[in-house]
Amino acid sequence: MTMIAVLGNGRVGGSLSAALTRAGHEVTVADRSPAAAADAARSAQIVINATPGASSLERLLALREELEGKILVDVSNATVDGPDGLPANLLYPGSSLGRQLQEVLPGTRVVKTLNTMLYTVMTAPTALAHPPTAFLSGEDPGAKQIVHGLLEDLGWHRDWITDLGGIDTAQAAEAAVLFVPHVIRSSGFAPFAISITR
């Protein structure tokens, strides 16, 4: 059993916290208040960032002390939304939220994952007609191995998980969010994910 703090209690955070609890982990969910986030992060071994990506950097920088030495799993995408509320551009072009977080939190082991799919697929990957792919980006191999195990707890098959390499590779994974509005307009708000087939 791992002690996990989920920062963000929206659709993404709620779905992840419920699934990880079912998998046997001890999960604390924090709302957007700084005090709740600090309390949750302080007692956790792993912290999951499920806050809105556009404000994640500021929120998590305020938790630098609480996140020291912890694994931070970043599942958010930092985007500039269009008039319809869907992603229209990247907030950190040429970089990524994952990389920005690692730079401002050097004592934290940041792992980027689960950001290339509709949130429902994060906890139900076998519900799709074809196997989806979950990508891992991060500097610490040990942290990525632990997160790999968490993904398996969420129902991801081992061979559906691809380690892209260091945190710089999160740039490519985050850029995939630009597909999202076009897919939704084309096919509706139905579960989907990026899949690498061989």
Q: What is the pLDDT of residues 35-62, one digit of tens each?
A: 999 999 999 999 999 999 999 999 999 9
For residues 16-45, give the mean pLDDT: 94
At residue 1 the predicted structure's pLDDT band, cuts being 50, 70 and 90, is: confident
pLDDT in tens, 106-116: 999 999 999 99
Give first-to-last CA distance, the chain, whole Å.
34
Percent of all residues in the chain with a pLDDT value above 70, rounded to a whole number:
100
In three-state secondary structure terms, 196 is: coil
pLDDT of residue 189: 84
> Whole-prediction pTM value?
0.96
DSSP string of 133-190, one letter each residue: -EEEEES-HHHHHHHHHHHHHTT--GGGEEEEESGGGHHHHHHGGGGHHHHHHHH-S-
Residues 134-188 pLDDT 10s: 999 999 999 999 999 999 999 999 999 999 999 999 999 999 999 989 998 898 8
Domains in the chain, ordered, with CATH? 3-187 (3.40.50.720)
Distance of alpha carbon 41 from alpha carbon 49, whole angstroms: 10
Are the beta carbons of 13 and 5 closer than 8 angstroms?
no
